[in-house]
Structure 1
Amino acid sequence: MRVRLKGLNKVTKRLADGRTVTYHYAWKGGPALPGKPGSAEFVAAYNEAVAKRTAAPDGVLLKVLRDYQSSSNFDGLGERSKKDYVRQIKRIEAEFSDFPLAALADRRTRGEFMAWRDRLAKSSRRQADYAYAVLALILAWSFDRGLVLSNPCERAGKVYRSKRVENVWTADDEAAFMAKAPAHLRLAFMLALWTGQRQGDLLRLPWSAYDGQRIRLKQGKTGARVSVPIGASLKILLDATKKRAVTILTTEAGTAWTESGFRASWRTAVKKAGVVGVTFHDLRGTAVTRLALADCSEAEIATITGHSLKDVGAILDAHYLRRDSGLGVSAIRKREAHEAGTKTPN
């Protein structure tokens, strides 16, 4: 019986005498494996290499990083969040895997971690904050369980300051995009604008999730289940769209999107439409804003988008509504109607 070894890396090289040889490694960059693939010697060497790689000695940061990834807290994350966390944990391991846990209580340790974040920030301030936040979260988890004696990363603030207060798609942005974008991307735009869902969830959304009246899905990041009633304009588009794949959204050729492929096509369409300063992700916040402008309560908005009530409130308060002039006009008209003793205009 042939045994499939996960992560096995094969490299073929041509020698100076013209012969071709193949080398096998436990993983990319890992130790070379002796013997023929599938032989007892080969499998034993592979298992030994994997065991050494996964073993984390007590007393160093790598141990708590691995323990966290085996915890129920980590298991409870959505699949997208798990992938994002693992990516950041690998960054932490690359720098601090052998960092002694006993040194966490040393006041100088905080400075070491913040200096690391500052180095990451030279490439991306947002990713630097994300990596640092994951480290702080894991240390907090470890501290609560008595695995470490201190969390030097708590309350460190951020190096990235979001400017998303202005990042709302306006009616002019929408009109420009809808006039220039191809039909398959117009459908993506309308799905995001009318459902308030994340890009990844919409790209994976199957036709079976749409029953003609609602779209039902489980969000990949949070695991929240949402049922979104379909607005008339979106329903017209959906019902007129030919089913060419399992997923609702497809490429121009009718195949399911990859995330990188969609982002590239989206950037091209936005540029062609002359729309600047907003992203696909901003459609999620724009959906929240427009629902609020329509006098929807925070609970109603959360039911559609899958946000928590707290997050809806935070979005409305801090990021979007302060810059939406339509709210100001609506507020003044309501006050005028109230003081005149007439019915509040719709």
Structure 2
Amino acid sequence: MAKIELPYVAWRQGRPRFVPGARERALGYKGQDLKHETGEWYSLDEAHAFAIARRDEIRAQRKTGRKLKSPPVPKGRAVSDLWETYIKSDKHKSLAASSQKTYGKWVKPLKAEPLWHAPVGSVDPVVLKGLHEKVKKERGLPMANGTLAVISAMLAWGRLHNWLPRDRNGQPMANPATNLDLESPEPRLRVGTDIEIRTLVEASDLVEIDGVPMSAIGDAVLTGLFTGQRKKDILEFVPGAQSSTRVELVQSKTGARVSIPMAPRLVQRLAAGKVRRAQADYRVVLSNIIVNEGTGLAYNGGTFTDHFAQVRAVAIAGVVDEEATRIAREIHAAEQRNTEPPTIWKLAPCPSLAGFTFPDLRDTAVTWYARAGSTVPEIASITGHSLASIYQILKHYLALDGELADNAVKKLVEWMEREGLAV
């Protein structure tokens, strides 16, 4: 039997792959699996024909002494083209504006990769797994998972719109971005304490930016705590004509409709904010419950985040009462005490707030309502979470909260006593 020559081709368990050597790679050639757009591997005859043709091509290229140019991608069928088509689709446009912005951020690592210019049909799980590992190493696991989530979303859409190759039965190939067994980050759950929330609110009344107190940040903190709503919905909320003491809105991200009575503390705080704005010299007085009081206009997300960070920084560092501290230290020096000179605080430092973010108030609301004895459906009616999301939050929190465990055991003991159980 004549020997079949397969130059530059490795054959492993029926799966041929073009494997250029160092000299060929220097010319610009890259390794590739030998398969059709349908995903089927080349037969032996097809691999042989490819190998001979590629060998002759390499010989001719070597004579030119020039590096091979990247092979052209069929116009309109590259991964980049799929992305541009996907973001114009009704599917992508139906996402919340914040989600669309997040997708745009997550796709950036992909744009820096050769895969961005590759044919859609060349995308396979091995390539995507390698991309995930690279992005994870360079930019962290959350970004890597986000990038793969975007790829999966656009490939899922592309599969239904004739962008993916078809198999021999005419069916679109499976989405290669699914079932990749990707590593998941530890769930983040940060629940604020009473002292942390109070310190944030008090700090907002002490911090000034360009002479304007940041009290509106404190208003937003208490609104987030008592309603469990997302930042965007809080900043856009305008009380209805029917009631100024209820938060009634349709959540921008999920479309969930909520109607929440405001706690007395929140009503009091927001009423004070309304008085502040009425006394300010704004050309237009907005009805939003939270307003950038430096401009009188509604907050945008970036400015609000910046102002929140400045308030948090002051809450972490604390605010010294300069005059009281001066007097106390004069007395301390006069009495020649052998102790550290005293510091009198207007606001005591709260270093535990480092890393606390405004979205953490949403988890805080869920857990505080649970600790107060609210049922999961009751919590969902306030925050708009799905029941599964609330159970997920509480699953991680319950293991951390000794008070809930104490209450549970106390209830069990009381029930056993009432029932006369003597185990």
Superposition TM-score, scaled by structure 2 size: 0.60
The structure having more radius of gyration, on CA atoms, is 2
Distance 2:111 2:241 in 1: 40
In the TM superposition, residue 284 of structure 1 has moved relative to its aligned partner by 0.2
Q: Which moved more, 1:283-292 or 1:237-246?
A: 237-246
Residues 80 and 220, structure 1, Cα contact 8 Å, conserved in 2: no
RMSD after superposition: 2.7
Residue 238 of structure 2 corresponds to which residue in structure 1? 206
- In the TM superposition, what are the counterparts of 1:73-88 in structure 2 within 5 Å? 73-88=91-106
- In the TM superposition, what are the counterparts of 1:55-204 in structure 2 within 5 Å? 57-95=75-113, 96-105=115-124, 108-118=126-136, 121-143=137-159, 147-148=163-164, 149-158=173-182, 161-162=185-186, 164-165=188-189, 167-182=190-205, 183-204=215-236
- DSSP 3-state at the match of 1:226: strand
Letter in 2 for 1:260: G
In the TM superposition, residue 109 of structure 1 has moved relative to its aligned partner by 2.0
Residues 224 and 306, structure 1, Cα contact 8 Å, conserved in 2: yes
Distance 2:381 2:121 in 1: 46
The answer as to 2:262 corresponding to 1:230 is yes
- Cα gap change, 1:282/1:61 in structure 2, threshold over 3 Å: closer, same or farther? same
Pick from 283, 287, 291 the counterpart of residue 250 of structure 1: 291
- Cα gap change, 1:278/1:214 in structure 2, threshold over 3 Å: closer, same or farther? same
Which runs of no fewer than 5 residues in structure 1 stay unpaired? 1-55
Distance 1:269 1:218 in 2: 29
Residues 192 and 199, structure 1, Cα contact 8 Å, conserved in 2: yes
Distance 1:57 1:303 in 2: 50
Identical-pair percentage: 29
- DSSP 3-state at the match of 1:272: helix
Distance 2:154 2:256 in 1: 23
Distance 1:147 1:78 in 2: 25
Count residues in correspondence: 282
Letter in 2 for 1:123: R
CA-to-partner distance for each residue in 1:101-120, whole Å, 9 max, x for gaps?
22124x642344224423xx
Residue 358 of structure 2 corresponds to which residue in structure 1? 280
Residues 239 and 248, structure 2, Cα contact 8 Å, conserved in 1: no
Q: Which moved more, 1:154-163 or 1:227-236?
A: 154-163
- Cα gap change, 1:68/1:210 in structure 2, threshold over 3 Å: closer, same or farther? farther
Letter in 2 for 1:325: G
Q: RCO (CA 8 Å, sep 6+): is it higher in 1 or 2?
A: 1
Residue 261 of structure 1 corresponds to which residue in structure 2? 303
- DSSP 3-state at the match of 1:216: strand
In the TM superposition, residue 340 of structure 1 has moved relative to its aligned partner by 2.1
Superposition TM-score, scaled by structure 1 size: 0.72
Letter in 2 for 1:191: T
Residue 12 of structure 2 corresponds to which residue in structure 1? none
- DSSP 3-state at the match of 2:117: coil
Letter in 2 for 1:334: K
Residues 181 and 269, structure 1, Cα contact 8 Å, conserved in 2: yes
In the TM superposition, residue 63 of structure 1 has moved relative to its aligned partner by 3.4
Letter in 2 for 1:57: K
Residue 26 of structure 1 corresponds to which residue in structure 2? none
- Cα gap change, 1:101/1:163 in structure 2, threshold over 3 Å: closer, same or farther? closer
- Cα gap change, 1:326/1:179 in structure 2, threshold over 3 Å: closer, same or farther? farther
In the TM superposition, residue 289 of structure 1 has moved relative to its aligned partner by 0.6
Distance 1:328 1:175 in 2: 25
